[in-house]
C-alpha cells in the first residue's frame, strides 16, 4: 500500500513505460538466451558454437532475427487458416503476459508507482499459473490447424504433457504459499528476505523437495529436454510447429524461450528469495545510497535467472529424452504423490510451529 | 459504479444464449459446451449476489459449481468418446437406437 | 473504471456466446466459449472475487476447455450438419430462450433499485483478503462438503477411465 496515491495519468504513463521497457528487455533476453544456449551447448559438446557474426558471435541473434523476418511466410494449402495464424500469437502473448506480475527488484516507489513490477496483484502466483494454462491452446491449436499428422501427434503429446505436469507444478508451489501465507509474489519474496540465504524457501524453508518437483515439472511445462518429446526431431519431424515458417515459427521459438525465462523467474521468486541478496542485510551499509540500493537487487535477480538458464542448458546437454509412457508415469505416479506429501509435511510442520 | 442488475442481466443473456444453443445445436460436444455456458452464467449471478450482500457464501457456491463442472466434464467427455467409438457420429439426431 | 471494464468484457462475453451459437465447427465454438470464460473471469475480479477469477481461468479455461478441445481434436469432429431434429428445436428453442431472457431481465430491471450498485475495491481491500475468507469458510464450517467433493472427483476420474477404455 503506497502512501502517495498517483494520479491516473502518471499511473497510466509510468505503467506504459514499464510495459515497454520490460517487453524490450524480455525479448532481448530471449534472443540472447538462444545465443547462450547455442554457445554453452557447443562448448559442452566440444565445439565452438556460433562465432562468426560479431565478436564472439554476439550479433548472432540479430542475424537470426533478420533471417527469420525476411524468410517467405509460407501458408500451406490445407491448413485451418484463422486458427493457424492465431496459434503462435496465443503462444507468444501468453508467454509474455506472465512476466507482468514478476517483481524484478526491491520495492522502489516513484510517484506512487512501483518501478520494478508492472502489477502487484494479490493473486500474482495464480495469475502466472492461469496464463501458463492458457498457453496450452497455442500448442494444441497449432497442431490441429496444421492438418498434418506429425503436427497433430506433437500437439496432442504436448497438451497432454502440459496438462499433466501443471498439476505437479501447482502442487509443488503450495508449500511455499503456505509458508508465505499469501499469493502475492511480492509478499512471497518478502517472506524470504530476513536472513539472506538461510531464509530462502529452498534452504531455510525446507522446500527443497518442492523445488525439485517444481524444476522437473517446469522442464516439462516448457517442453525442454529431457521432456522435449512434443518436438522430438527423430520421431515427429518438429512436432507441432512442423508446418510453420518465418515469423510464425519465430513466435513459437520466442514463446519457448520466454517461457523458460518466466519459469526461471518463478523459481527465483518462490524458492531463491527473488531479488533479495544471498547475504541478507550483511552489506546493507555498503549499498545504502539510492542508486545502488535500487540496482543491486536487480543484479541478484538477473544472476539467479542466469543460473537457472544455465541449468536448463546443462540438463539439455546431459540427459537423454524420456519415452512418452515414462514421462506420463513419472509425472502422475512420482511427482504428484511426492508433491502432495510435501504439502502435508509443510502443513504439519507449520501447524506444529505456529 | 455499475448497478448489480446489469450484471444479472448479462448473466440472463448468457444463460438464454446457452439455452438456445443447447436446443439448436446438433453436435453433442457443442451441446455439452452450452451446458457449461449456462453454468457460467449462473456463476456470474452467484458472484454478483455475493458482492451485493457482502457475503462469501455466493463465492463458495461458485467454487463448488466449478468442482462439479470439472467432474462432469471428465465423465461427460468420456461418455462422448465411448459414444463416438460405438456410433462413429457426434450428431445427436443419429443416436437413436432406442427410438422406434 | 468499473463501467469500462463491465462494458468491454460484458460485450466480449455476449459476442463470444453468440459466436458459440452461430459457429458450425465445434472447435470454433470451444474457442468462443473460452473467450466468454476469460471475460467472466475479469468480471468476477471486478466484483471482488479474485480467487474465483483465478480459479475460473485455471479450472475452466485451463483444464475443462482444454479437455473439450482435446476431445474435439481426438475425434476430429467435423462441421455439424443440420438434420430434421434441429428444425423442431428452432421452433421451440428460440422462443423459449427469448422468453427466459425476457422474464429474467424484467425481474432484474424492475428490482434494479433494491439490488444496489457495485463498487470496485470497496469489498476487496477489507482487512481480510478474499482468499483468506474463502479458505476460512471452506475449512471450518463447510469442511464436510469440501472433503466430499474430493470423493466426487475421485469417482469422476474412475468413471472417466472406465468409460473411455477400449473394451466397454
List for chain B the helix, strand, coil content (%; round to 5).
80, 5, 15
The reply to whether B99 falls in a domain is no
The reply to whether A221 falls in a domain is yes
Q: A156: part of which helix (H) or strand (E)?
A: helix A149-180
**B38 neighbourhood in chain C, CB within 8 Å:** none
Mean predicted confidence (pLDDT) in B23-34: 86
Binding partners of C (≥3 Cβ pairs within 8 A): A, B
Residue in chain C closest to B76 (alpha carbons) equals C160
Say which DSSP state A354 is in. -
The reply to whether B83 falls in a domain is yes
From the list C51, C58, C70, the residue facing A140 with the nearest CB is: C70
C109: region left, alpha or beta (phi > 0 left; psi from -120 to 50 alpha): alpha
Tell whether A123 lies on the interface with C, counting CB pairs under 8 A. yes
Residues 6+ positions from B21 with CB-CB distance below 8 Å: B30, B31, B33, B34, B37, C17, C20, C21
Say which DSSP state A331 is in. I
Q: How far is the C-alpha of A244 from the C-alpha of A151, rounded, in Å?
A: 10
Domain that holds residue B85: 4-89
Q: How far is the C-alpha of C101 from the C-alpha of C17, rounded, in Å?
A: 14
How many domains, in total, are found in chain A? 1
Q: Given CA atoms C142, C145, C150, C153 in this order, what sign does their dihedral have?
A: negative
Residue scoring higher pLDDT (C82 or A261)? A261
Q: How far is the C-alpha of C45 from the C-alpha of C123, rounded, in Å?
A: 11
The reply to whether A236 falls in a domain is yes
Mutate to test the interface with A, among C57, C120, C132, C136 (most CBs of A within 10 A): C57
- % of chain B exceeding 70 in pLDDT: 99
From the list A134, A141, A160, the residue facing C57 with the nearest CB is: A134
Residue A169's nearest CA partner among A222, A230, A101, A116 is A222
The reply to whether A33 falls in a domain is no
Residue A100's nearest CA partner among A189, A173, A18, A187 is A18
With vertex at residue A34, the alpha carbon angle to CA A28 and CA A35, rounded to the nearest 5 degrees, is 90
Residue in chain C closest to A153 (alpha carbons) equals C74
Residues 6+ positions from A91 with CB-CB distance below 8 Å: A135, A138, A139, A142, A251, A252, A255
The reply to whether A146 falls in a domain is yes
pLDDT in tens, chain A (354 residues): 344 566 778 778 888 888 888 889 888 888 888 888 888 888 888 888 787 777 877 888 888 888 888 887 777 777 778 888 888 888 889 888 888 888 887 777 666 677 777 777 778 888 888 888 888 888 888 888 887 778 888 888 888 888 888 888 888 888 888 888 888 888 888 887 777 777 777 777 778 888 888 988 888 888 777 877 766 666 666 677 777 777 888 888 888 888 888 888 888 888 887 777 777 666 666 656 667 777 778 888 888 888 888 888 888 888 888 778 888 888 888 888 999 998 898 889 888 886
Q: How far is the C-alpha of A154 from the C-alpha of A235, rounded, in Å?
A: 9
* pLDDT tens digits, one per residue of C33-73: 999 999 999 888 888 888 888 888 888 888 888 888 888 88
The reply to whether B97 falls in a domain is no
Query: From the centroid of its chain, how far is CA A33?
Result: 12
From the list A126, A134, A160, the residue facing C61 with the nearest CB is: A134
The reply to whether A141 falls in a domain is yes
* Model pLDDT, residue A286: 63
From the list B19, B26, B69, the residue facing C83 with the nearest CB is: B26
* DSSP secondary structure of C55-90: HIIIIIIIIIHHHHHHHHHHHT-------HHHHHHH
pLDDT surpasses 80 at C166? no
Q: Given CA atoms A177, A223, A326, A155 in this order, what sign does their dihedral have?
A: positive
The reply to whether A180 falls in a domain is yes
Q: How far is the C-alpha of A322 from the C-alpha of A86, rounded, in Å?
A: 30
Interchain contact, C70 vs A152, CB within 8 Å: no
Distance from CA of B14 to the nearest CA of C (A): 6
Distance from CA of C60 to the nearest CA of A (A): 10
From the list C54, C66, C129, the residue facing A126 with the nearest CB is: C54
Strands A109-110 and A113-114 turn out to be antiparallel
Interchain contact, A130 vs C70, CB within 8 Å: no
With the CA atoms of A255, A261, A267 and A273 taken in that order, what torsion angle do they form, in degrees rounded to the nearest 10? -150
Residue listed under C-alpha cell 455456458: B37
Mutate to test the interface with C, among A94, A97, A123 (most CBs of C within 10 A): A123
* Model pLDDT, residue A234: 63
From the list C31, C62, C70, the residue facing A133 with the nearest CB is: C62
* pLDDT tens digits, one per residue of B82-93: 888 888 877 777
Question: Among B37-46, B83-92, C13-22, C149-158, which stretch is predicted with the lowest mean pLDDT?
Answer: B83-92
* Model pLDDT, residue B40: 92
Q: How far is the C-alpha of A197 from the C-alpha of C1, rounded, in Å?
A: 42
Q: How far is the C-alpha of C98 from the C-alpha of B12, rounded, in Å?
A: 10
Interchain contact, B50 vs C119, CB within 8 Å: no
A126 C-beta neighbours (distance < 10 Å), count:
23
* pLDDT tens digits, one per residue of B51-95: 888 788 888 889 999 999 989 998 998 888 888 888 887 777 777
Interchain contact, C69 vs A160, CB within 8 Å: no
The reply to whether B100 falls in a domain is no
Tell whether A137 lies on the interface with C, counting CB pairs under 8 A. yes
Interchain contact, B60 vs C137, CB within 8 Å: yes
* pLDDT tens digits, one per residue of C94-151: 888 888 888 888 888 887 777 777 766 555 445 567 788 888 888 888 899 889 999 9
Residue scoring higher pLDDT (A346 or C82)? A346
Local structure of A237: helix, strand or coil: coil
* Model pLDDT, residue C155: 92
Residue A264's nearest CA partner among A201, A309, A211, A316 is A309
Distance from CA of A15 to the nearest CA of C (A): 16
Q: How far is the C-alpha of C34 from the C-alpha of A141, rounded, in Å?
A: 13
* Model pLDDT, residue A290: 67
The reply to whether A246 falls in a domain is yes
Residue A124's nearest CA partner among A162, A93, A163, A98 is A98
Distance from CA of B81 to the nearest CA of C (A): 6
The reply to whether B98 falls in a domain is no
Domain that holds residue A260: 74-353
Entry pTM: 0.87
Interchain contact, B2 vs C83, CB within 8 Å: no
Binding partners of B (≥3 Cβ pairs within 8 A): C
Assess whether chains C and B touch, using the rule of 3 or more C-beta pairs within 8 angstroms: yes
The reply to whether B56 falls in a domain is yes
Q: How far is the C-alpha of A255 from the C-alpha of B44, rounded, in Å?
A: 33
Q: How far is the C-alpha of A57 from the C-alpha of A37, rounded, in Å?
A: 12
The reply to whether A52 falls in a domain is no
Residue in chain B closest to C98 (alpha carbons) equals B16
* Model pLDDT, residue C101: 84
**Domain of residue B50, CATH code:** 1.10.287.3510
Local structure of A109: helix, strand or coil: strand
Residue A272's nearest CA partner among A284, A260, A282, A264 is A264
Q: How far is the C-alpha of A328 from the C-alpha of A326, rounded, in Å?
A: 5
Amino acid at each position: 500500500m503506497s502512501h502517495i496515491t498517483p494520479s491516473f495519468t502518471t499511473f497510466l504513463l509510468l505503467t506504459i513505460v514499464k510495459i515497454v521497457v520490460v517487453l524490450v528487455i524480455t525479448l532481448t533476453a530471449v534472443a540472447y538466451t538462444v545465443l547462450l544456449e547455442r554457445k554453452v551447448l557447443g562448448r559442452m559438446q566440444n565445439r565452438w558454437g556460433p562465432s562468426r557474426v560479431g565478436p564472439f558471435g554476439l550479433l548472432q541473434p540479430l542475424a537470426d532475427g533478420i533471417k527469420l523476418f525476411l524468410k517467405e511466410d509460407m501458408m500451406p494449402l490445407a491448413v485451418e487458416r484463422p486458427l493457424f495464424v492465431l496459434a503462435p500469437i496465443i503462444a507468444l502473448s501468453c508467454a509474455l503476459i506472465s512476466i507482468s506480475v514478476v517483481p524484478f527488484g526491491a520495492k522502489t516507489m516513484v510517484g506512487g508507482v512501483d518501478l520494478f513490477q508492472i502489477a502487484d496483484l494479490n493473486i500474482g502466483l495464480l495469475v502466472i499459473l492461469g496464463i501458463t494454462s492458457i498457453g496450452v491452446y497455442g500448442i494444441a491449436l497449432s497442431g490441429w490447424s496444421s492438418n498434418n499428422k506429425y503436427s497433430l501427434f506433437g500437439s496432442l503429446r504436448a497438451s497432454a504433457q502440459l496438462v499433466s505436469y501443471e498439476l505437479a507444478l501447482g502442487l509443488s508451489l503450495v508449500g511455499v504459499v503456505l509458508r508465505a501465507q499469501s499469493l502475492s509474489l511480492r509478499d512471497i519474496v518478502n517472506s524470504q528476505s530476513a536472513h539472506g540465504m538461510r531464509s530462502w524457501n529452498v534452504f531455510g524453508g525446507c522446500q527443497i523437495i518442492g523445488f525439485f518437483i517444481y524444476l522437473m515439472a517446469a522442464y516439462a511445462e516448457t517442453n525442454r529436454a529431457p521432456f522435449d518429446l512434443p518436438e522430438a526431431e527423430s520421431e515427429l519431424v518438429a512436432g507441432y510447429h512442423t508446418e510453420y515458417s518465418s515469423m510464425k515459427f519465430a513466435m513459437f521459438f520466442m514463446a519457448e524461450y520466454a517461457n523458460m525465462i518466466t519459469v526461471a523467474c518463478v523459481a527465483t521468486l518462490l524458492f531463491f528469495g527473488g531479488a533479495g541478496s544471498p547475504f541478507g542485510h550483511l552489506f546493507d551499509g555498503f549499498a545504502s545510497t539510492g542508486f545502488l540500493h535500487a540496482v543491486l537487487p536487480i543484479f541478484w535477480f538477473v544472476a539467479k535467472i542466469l543460473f537457472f538458464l544455465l541449468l536448463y542448458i546443462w540438463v539439455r546437454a546431459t540427459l537423454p529424452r524420456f519415452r512418452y509412457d515414462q514421462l506420463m508415469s513419472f509425472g502422475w505416479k512420482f511427482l504428484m504423490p511426492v508433491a502432495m506429501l510435501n504439502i502435508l509435511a509443510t502443513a504439519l510442520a507449520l501447524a506444529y510451529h505456529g | 459504479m455499475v448497478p448489480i442488475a446489469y450484471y444479472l442481466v448479462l448473466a440472463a443473456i448468457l444463460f438464454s444464449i446457452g439455452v438456445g444453443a443447447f436446443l439448436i445445436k446438433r453436435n453433442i460436444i457443442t451441446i455439452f459446451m452450452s451446458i457449461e455456458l449456462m453454468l457460467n452464467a449462473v456463476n456470474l449471478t452467484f458472484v454478483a449476489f455475493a458482492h451485493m450482500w457482502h457475503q462469501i457464501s455466493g463465492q463458495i457456491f461458485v467454487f463448488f459449481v466449478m468442482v462439479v463442472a470439472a467432474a462432469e466434464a471428465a465423465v461427460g467427455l468420456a461418455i462422448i468418446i465411448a459414444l463416438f467409438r460405438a456410433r462413429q457420429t457426434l450428431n445427436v439426431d443419429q443416436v437413436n437406437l432406442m427410438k422406434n | 473504471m468499473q463501467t469500462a471494464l463491465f462494458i468491454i468484457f460484458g460485450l466480449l462475453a455476449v459476442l463470444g456466446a453468440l459466436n458459440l451459437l452461430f459457429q458450425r465447427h465445434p472447435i470454433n465454438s470451444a474457442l468462443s466459449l473460452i473467450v466468454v470464460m476469460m471475460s467472466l473471469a475479469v468480471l468476477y475480479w471486478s466484483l471482488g472475487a479474485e480467487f474465483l477469477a483465478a480459479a475460473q481461468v485455471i479450472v475452466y479455461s485451463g483444464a475443462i476447455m482444454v479437455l473439450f478441445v482435446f476431445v474435439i481434436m481426438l475425434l476430429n469432429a467435423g462441421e455439424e450438419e443440420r438434420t430434421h431434429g434441429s428444425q423442431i428445436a428452432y421452433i421451440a428453442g428460440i422462443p423459449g430462450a427469448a422468453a427466459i431472457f425476457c422474464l429474467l431481465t424484467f425481474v432484474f430491471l424492475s428490482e434494479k433499485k433494491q439490488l444496489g450498485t457495485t463498487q470496485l475495491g470497496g469489498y476487496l481491500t477489507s482487512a481480510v483478503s478474499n482468499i483468506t475468507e474463502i479458505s476460512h469458510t471452506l475449512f471450518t464450517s463447510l469442511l464436510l462438503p469440501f472433503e466430499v467433493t474430493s470423493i466426487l472427483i475421485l469417482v469422476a476420474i474412475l468413471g472417466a477411465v472406465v468409460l473411455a477404455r477400449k473394451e466397454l
